[in-house]
Structure 1
Amino acid sequence: MGDHLDLLLGVVLVASPVFGISPCSFDGQMALYHFCNLTQVPQVLNTTEKLLLSFNYIRTVTTSSFPFLEQLLLLELGAQYTPITIDKEAFRNLPNLRILDLGKNQIDFLHPDAFQGLSHLFELRLFSCGLSDVVLKDGYFRNLKSLTRLDLSINQIHSLHLHPSFQELSSLKSIDFSFNQIRTLCESELKPLQGKMLSFFSLADNKLYSTISVDWGKCMNPFRDMVLETLDVSSNGWTADITGNFSNAISGSQIFSLILVYHIMGSGFGFHNIKDPDQNTFAGLARSSVIRLDLSHGFIFSLNSRLFETLKDLKFLNLAHNKINKIADKAFYGLDNLQILNMSYNLLGELYNSNFYGLTKVAYIDLQKNHIGIIQYQTFRFLEKLNTLDLRDNALKTLSFIPRISAIFLGGNKLVTLPKISLTANLIHLSENRLENMDDLYFLLQVPHLQILILNQNRLSSCNRSPTPSKNLSLEKLFLGENMLQLAWETGLCWDVFKGLSHLQILYLNNNYLNFLPPGVFSDLTALRGLSLNSNRLTVLSSDDLPANLEILDVSRNQLLVPNPDLFVSLSALDITHNKFICVCELSPFLSWLNQTNVTIFGSPADISCTYPNSLSEISLYSISTEGCDEEEVLKSLKFSLFILFTVTLTVFLMSVFIVTKFRGFCFICYKTTQRLVFKDHPQGTEPDTYKYDAYLCFSSKDFEWVQNALLKHLDTQYSDQNRFNLCFEERDFVPGENHIANIQDAVWSSRKIVCLVSRHFLRDGWCLEAFSYAQGRCLSDLNSVLIMVVVGSLSQYQLMKHQSIRGFVQKQQYLRWPEDLQDVGWFLNKLSQQILKKEKEKKKDNSIQLQTVATIS
């Protein structure tokens, strides 16, 4: 039990994150000094448990390098940028050290007593340190009674003549000699390990036995009287002959897992210079109790007859990534206990009834990534224990060979339709095939006990009729992404495909080109918890579209414009990123919900952004304000009322004036041309009177540039000799230094008419509103209408009536609106000129009969 706790502690120490502590500092328990240009061990607190000193320039480690650190468990001293010397009892002041990492150092000198005093050390890392055989021969590891793992990989060790002190290492379980230069290994070299049980022993990448001739009669069994849970002899360049000789040499030694990956056994594809393994290759392992054999990543072309006959205890056989094209009769004969067979990534094209003879207990066969196009009917049917068959990424066009098993993986094949065969699987994987007809989906949904059905990346799009759905009380997960269900549903058929799936919990309908959801399509999915509708073309979701108990919804990458937040309040998680939100006031309820909800929203705020209008494009919805939208709601209600009132009248009227309206600008030009020709001898002009100005233009100074371009250049005589009016405006005609009120009063009473250009800036300008009030006062005084109001911009009636000085005028008088269409500007200027020139009667007995309509140039 103590050994297991030590191993667990090692894993925790290695995996412990160093986040939360800045480089070149310590917090009392962890001292982190990576890349700190240290030349000696820093002083740390005696409470330190982990000391990390890699990637520095420490040259020497002696007894005095460390203070007494009784609680230190992990020391990293590897990857120094300079050669390092480790002196006698260098770590004596670290009595409870569990893990010592010196890996990737260039050790110039290592004292034979360097590790003395580390009685609790259970892992020692000396990989890539340039060490030679001496470190094994001279007892460097004596007295390390707790040592469990020893890593000596990537060194310059040529021979494994172990010092007798290895016999005393009673806790030793794992030794790694990979990537050295060990060319041969005989019985006498590992005698100190006899009688031990090791969990891992690696001799990988040493060119072991492959470059020299071995006298096996003298060399004998290097693992005699040893029990090895895992022996790794990979990447040594072993042929079938070398493997056979090695198997015979270690006969009788208990090796539960033999890893022999990256070998060169087999002729490969199109070559015959190296033979495939035969029944003699592994014969020597008959008494070794091999449970796991890994022969992946080689060149085996043919599995010969009785190849594994002697491996009676084998349960896992890995033949992946070879060149296997042929399976001889009885190739698996004798594998009575085999449970897992991996033959993926080979060159199999056909499978025959006799191929898997002898696998009476096999439960899982992996044949993915071959080229299998034909499988005989009885190939798998006699495998009584088989429950999982993986045939993904082959070239199958039929399923007639499928036995009654629990899990079937058939993705990435060429299935166009499914035969109506009896299936009993709990999991069916059919993604990346060519299924088109929805009948196949209805058929699969009737498979009894089916729990998971995967049909992603097919072509489901055709529905000629709606088969009667049957209840499936076992199906829990259904994957239908990347099909074309839109084409089927838009015919009005197959809307009941999910009827009866009352236990379904997860449903994927992503990438199906959906622009609508059939009414009630999810009504039977009472247990549905997760629904994916991402990457479709949905523009709106209604309250009836989603199941009542839904918890997780993915509607990302659709075209939702103004989502209704009431649909999402019952969810626990929502992905609504990458939609095409229209950021207008109608989106206000959703914006308010988005900023207040407790629902988990997936994605970053930048992925939930506006698409329209252009001024808000790519702006996150979290940054959009809803201020001012209440006013827009009032305006919307007013517009709606006006729309209902005038719909019939406008319909008749618009039909009659369509042509004139369409070409009104051209018509006005023709009218003015005709007028000049008819009245060329009778020029019109203003009659002399007592007023100093024809009109006083009252506008906000912020609108001066627009007023100058739109009005003054076309009306005022000082801008052009062709203009007819002598206009008054503040920037030019007010007397500097004089009281502003006096200037306004003088302008109002010195002008025949007062023209107020009411814009948003005008409504915020107190002087403009004051001038408007004085103009109304003159109207009352003279009892005539000398005030002309022109509304500029998109100001509503409601916004105008908010101001008391303007409200009375708007309720009783006409006003003009600056045209939005450029072709109406000439007509408007003419209309305004006529208003300025118009002579009013001296008295109007009844002002209440004035029109209250709005003269609007649209």
Structure 2
Amino acid sequence: MLLRFCNEPRYLEGVMGPLSNIYVFVCVFTFMLCNNSQPTVENEFIANYSSSLLTNVPKNIPVHTQVLDLSHNRISGLSILEFISLSKLQVLNLSHNLIMELDFSVFIYNQDLEYLDLSHNNILKVYCQTLAYLRHLDLSFNKFTALPICQEFGNMFRLEYLGLSATMMRRSDFRYIIHLQLHTVFLTLEDFTLYEPQSLTALNTRSLHIVFAANQNFSFSLLYDGMSTSKNLSIVNLRYTLSYKDFPFPPLTLLKKIKTTALMLDTVDLQWAIILQIFLLIWYSPMEHLTVRNLTFQGPLGELTEYEFLPLFDSLEQIISLDGSMKVLTLEHVRNKVYYFNQEIVYRQFSEMNIASLTIYDAYMPHMLCPSRTSSFQYLNFSHNALTDELFQNCGTLTDLKLLILQRNKFESLSKVSFMTSRMKSLKYLDMSNNLLSHDAPDVQCQWSKSLSELDLSSNQLTESVFECVPVNIKKLDLQNNQITSVPKGMAELKSLKELNLASNRLADLPGCGGFTSLEFLNIEMNLILTPSADFFQSCPRVRELQAGQNPFKCSCELQDFIRLERQSGGKLFGWPSAYVCEYPEDLRGTQLKDFHLTELACNTTLLLVTALLLTLVLVAVVAFLCIYLDVPWYVRMTWQWTQTKRRAWHHHPEEQERVLQFHAFISYSERDSLWVKNELIPNLEKGEGCVQLCQHERNFVPGKSIVENIINCIEKSYKSIFVLSPNFVQSEWCHYELYFAHHKLFSENSNSLILILLEPIPPYIIPARYHKLKALMAKRTYLEWPKERSKHALFWANLRAAISINLPMADGNSCGEMH
């Protein structure tokens, strides 16, 4: 701990007032120091050696250091040589060490030193020296017997904060600093043994903070003198175990001397009678703010009739109803050790108070009475108690109440809560969070205060029926952490609603704004929204901010419109993009929505169908074109005919499938080239030595069979197939059939049965596209070209005979001559 006020802000609230610039400066630097517990140099101006097990001040501290933290070590002594080089030092923290003696002359060369913390050491003796620039000096939680205020302290005119400790206190202890205008004096009085009355009144300070020993009876003279000393008074550990009859009641003359306007009592353990006595003193004083924390009271409880104040009034109620200066009363963490007492006495005393603000927090309070007359309460906070639906029913005296906080109680019926507020004509804000509220009776009408503009119903058990019981004029509604699954469309219109919080419910989609025409802010985080509606901002044109993060978004096509909506919203999505992450599908979990993209084609069904249809049409057109260009139907038809012919031949003459070849070659030619075939080819191959038996359609086709079947049979019964190529050939349909079937045999039997004779040159451009097989054959196979010169004919016929040379088994003794 480098600075008590930074680490314990409760000492500052309400009592200490605003700190001066030096305290703010120190708190900022202290926070920076506390972030690092190792001995490091943060930069050239800040050096942090906290919690480093040091026994001496380090020798290597940078000379430019302005903030030095040496707290929580084992340093037992200081010397001038350790600080003489640190001329720029402004803040020095030596708290929580083992220093026993302090000589202020150690810091005589540190002329810029403004903050010095030596609290929580074992200092017994001080050797004084004026440190003119010092603003903050803390010597609290040490071992001093008397207050260590030297004459030199009187010369520290800039001193604003002074922390001291002692076991005895006399009026003369403050004589040297009476003239100083101090902002805060902090006194730790552990093991306290002596207090001289009116000692504290010698101080001139705005805020006085006293920490008394937790196991000792408190000196109430300190309390009374403290109230006469400073404007802000804070006392920790107010304990008194003796009988209240021995309690030193304050004199009536004290009322005229009280200066304190803000009093904070922390850790109070007193009898109820003493508490009331102190309270009555405070009530009739100039006190405006009273805060009591960690209050424990014990009996007896009852009407006080013997105390000094009461003879001046008819009753206790008369006292607390007076128009005093008290404005704010805060009781926090109240416990009692009384097992039986009339609670109505306590409730009545609080309910009749004539103050503007009352807080009773964490007191196990089960009830509170309605004031018997028109109350001045403007602020009531009964949080963390045991209040039920019976609170303030039919109560018409809280007409000035503006803020009512009832969170963490045991309210169950929302309709009863509405009736509770119906007569609170000035109520603006109601907090009913963290209760057990539900609204399961839709036939029960709700009646809210017409002035209510802010309502907090978070952390209850409300469902969508809550919208049937909402104030019509509400401007800000908090329904966070309930069980709402939808926002009904037929609900009453909330035309004034500007802020709606539906976070942590069970909503599956963004609500529309049909009933929220003025809605500006919507929080729907942490619901069950998979694919939020993309038309939200169209239906809610006035919404300036939408908080929709932390939902289990399903990254699919439906979410694309919402992502596009974010780009068009102009930054209206709060928390974008970090709070908007894909939850489904599994492979996209953790992906931010801004990084999720799908193509328009993948998400637009109409476009997908049109695209698929167009692609299909294009594919069909391409296939049709290719079929026409490559004459695919022709090939299909030929393949079908060849298959059918083979099938019929197998079924009708299966024995023929095993017959041997009957011809050397089958001749395919155009009728326009028949003269050359009959006059040149056939005579030259079938005469003379090496007789070649040829199959010609005119003499070898079997009558009664189809042409295709005859072609197939002749090709299959021939060893070779001779094609006489010419421009006439490529224009013949039947030549094309014969070439196709011969080519089919070439591949099916893996034979070399084709012989091409080029009778006349064929220009490539006259070959039809469907004759691609012919083009391929002419490009890949060697063909015999018919020579025009007669001298070369003999060589041509010799080559052709050699190409078809084969010995055929002669059926029935037939010879070449017999085949003619």
> Could you say which TM-score interval applies, normalised by the shorter chain?
0.5 to 0.7
How far 1:517 moved relative to its partner?
1.5
Matches within 5 A, 1:90-239: 91=83, 97-106=89-98, 113-133=105-125, 135=126, 138-139=127-128, 141-142=129-130, 144-160=131-147, 162-178=149-165, 182-209=166-193, 214=194, 222-223=199-200, 225-237=202-214
Q: 1:198 to 1:278 in 2, by over 3 A?
A: farther
Conservation of the 8 A alpha-carbon contact between 1:259 and 1:293: yes
Give the secondary-structure state (helix, strand or coil) at the position aligned to 1:175: strand
How far 1:300 moved relative to its partner?
0.7
**Higher helix proportion, which one?**
2
Q: 1:314 to 1:303 in 2, by over 3 A?
A: farther
How far 1:88 moved relative to its partner?
3.4
Matches within 5 A, 1:785-804: none
Residue 307 (structure 2) pairs with residue 323 (structure 1): no
| Inter-partner Cα distance in structure 1 for 2:210 and 2:169 | 12
Q: How many residues align?
A: 584
Q: Give 2:593's aligned amino acid.
A: L
Give the secondary-structure state (helix, strand or coil) at the position aligned to 2:266: coil
| Aligned counterpart, 1:421 | 395
Matches within 5 A, 1:405-444: 405-411=377-383, 412-417=385-390, 419-422=393-396, 423-424=398-399, 425-431=401-407, 432-436=409-413, 438=415, 440-441=417-418, 444=421
Residue 207 (structure 2) pairs with residue 243 (structure 1): no
Q: 1:590 to 1:183 in 2, by over 3 A?
A: same
| Aligned counterpart, 1:509 | 479
Give the secondary-structure state (helix, strand or coil) at the position aligned to 2:67: strand
Q: 1:255 to 1:332 in 2, by over 3 A?
A: farther
| Aligned counterpart, 2:326 | 362
Q: Give 2:393's aligned amino acid.
A: P
Q: 1:233 to 1:536 in 2, by over 3 A?
A: closer
Matches within 5 A, 1:407-556: 407-411=379-383, 412-417=385-390, 419-422=393-396, 423-424=398-399, 425-431=401-407, 432-436=409-413, 438=415, 440-441=417-418, 444=421, 447-456=424-433, 457-465=435-443, 467=445, 472=450, 474-486=451-463, 488=465, 495=468, 497-499=470-472, 501=473, 504-519=474-489, 521=491, 523-526=493-496, 528-541=497-510, 543-545=512-514, 547-556=516-525
Give the secondary-structure state (helix, strand or coil) at the position aligned to 2:211: coil
| Inter-partner Cα distance in structure 1 for 2:388 and 2:746 | 89
| Aligned counterpart, 2:273 | 303
Residue 531 (structure 2) pairs with residue 562 (structure 1): yes
TM normalised by structure 2 equals: 0.59
- Cα deviations by residue, 1:628-680 (Å, 9 ceiling, x for unpaired): 654652377689x9xxxxxxxxxxxxxxxxxxxxxxxxxxxxxxxxxxxxxxx
| Aligned counterpart, 2:248 | 280
Q: 1:35 to 1:480 in 2, by over 3 A?
A: closer
| Inter-partner Cα distance in structure 1 for 2:215 and 2:271 | 16
| Inter-partner Cα distance in structure 1 for 2:178 and 2:746 | 118
How far 1:200 moved relative to its partner?
2.9
Give the secondary-structure state (helix, strand or coil) at the position aligned to 2:137: strand
| Aligned counterpart, 2:547 | 575
How far 1:265 moved relative to its partner?
0.8
TM normalised by structure 1 equals: 0.56
Give the secondary-structure state (helix, strand or coil) at the position aligned to 2:237: coil
| Inter-partner Cα distance in structure 2 for 1:553 and 1:748 | 81
How far 1:61 moved relative to its partner?
7.4
Q: Give 1:152's aligned amino acid.
A: L
Give the secondary-structure state (helix, strand or coil) at the position aligned to 2:190: coil
| Aligned counterpart, 2:235 | 260
Q: 1:578 to 1:277 in 2, by over 3 A?
A: farther
| Inter-partner Cα distance in structure 2 for 1:688 and 1:635 | 62
How far 1:254 moved relative to its partner?
3.2
Give the secondary-structure state (helix, strand or coil) at the position aligned to 1:254: coil
Matches within 5 A, 1:347-746: 356=320, 360-366=324-330, 374=344, 379=349, 383-388=353-358, 390=360, 394-396=364-366, 400-401=370-371, 403-404=374-375, 405-411=377-383, 412-417=385-390, 419-422=393-396, 423-424=398-399, 425-431=401-407, 432-436=409-413, 438=415, 440-441=417-418, 444=421, 447-456=424-433, 457-465=435-443, 467=445, 472=450, 474-486=451-463, 488=465, 495=468, 497-499=470-472, 501=473, 504-519=474-489, 521=491, 523-526=493-496, 528-541=497-510, 543-545=512-514, 547-568=516-537, 571-594=543-566, 597-599=569-571, 601-602=573-574, 608-617=580-589, 619-627=591-599, 629-630=601-602, 633-634=605-606
How far 1:243 moved relative to its partner?
1.2
| Inter-partner Cα distance in structure 2 for 1:748 and 1:227 | 124
| Inter-partner Cα distance in structure 1 for 2:656 and 2:394 | 103
Conservation of the 8 A alpha-carbon contact between 2:175 and 2:202: no
Deviates more, 1:598-607 or 1:504-513: 598-607
Conservation of the 8 A alpha-carbon contact between 1:591 and 1:621: yes
Q: Give 1:102's aligned amino acid.
A: L
Conservation of the 8 A alpha-carbon contact between 2:50 and 2:72: yes
| Aligned counterpart, 2:706 | none
Conservation of the 8 A alpha-carbon contact between 2:48 and 2:68: yes
- Cα deviations by residue, 1:154-190 (Å, 9 ceiling, x for unpaired): 4343443543322322333322124xxx332334544
| Inter-partner Cα distance in structure 1 for 2:551 and 2:347 | 50
| Aligned counterpart, 1:15 | 28
Q: 1:146 to 1:539 in 2, by over 3 A?
A: same
Give the secondary-structure state (helix, strand or coil) at the position aligned to 2:92: strand
- Cα deviations by residue, 1:732-779 (Å, 9 ceiling, x for unpaired): xxxxxxxxxxxxx9999979xxxxxxxxxxxxxxxxxxxxxxxxx99x
| Inter-partner Cα distance in structure 1 for 2:655 and 2:104 | 124
How far 1:150 moved relative to its partner?
0.9
Q: 1:629 to 1:513 in 2, by over 3 A?
A: farther
Q: 1:396 to 1:185 in 2, by over 3 A?
A: closer
Q: Which runs of 5+ in 1 are unaligned?
A: 24-31, 267-273, 336-350, 642-686, 691-744, 752-776, 782-858
| Inter-partner Cα distance in structure 2 for 1:609 and 1:314 | 55
Give the secondary-structure state (helix, strand or coil) at the position aligned to 1:593: helix
Conservation of the 8 A alpha-carbon contact between 1:331 and 1:355: no
Conservation of the 8 A alpha-carbon contact between 1:519 and 1:545: yes
Deviates more, 1:537-546 or 1:554-563: 537-546
| Inter-partner Cα distance in structure 1 for 2:19 and 2:317 | 51
- Cα deviations by residue, 1:324-346 (Å, 9 ceiling, x for unpaired): 253643799869xxxxxxxxxxx
Q: 1:115 to 1:61 in 2, by over 3 A?
A: farther
How far 1:589 moved relative to its partner?
0.9
| Inter-partner Cα distance in structure 2 for 1:688 and 1:545 | 91
Q: 1:334 to 1:606 in 2, by over 3 A?
A: same
Q: Which runs of 5+ in 2 are unaligned?
A: 1-16, 336-341, 614-653, 658-742, 750-768, 774-820
Give the secondary-structure state (helix, strand or coil) at the position aligned to 1:234: strand
Q: Give 1:265's aligned amino acid.
A: Y
**Larger C-alpha radius of gyration, 1 or 2?**
2
Give the % identical residues.
17
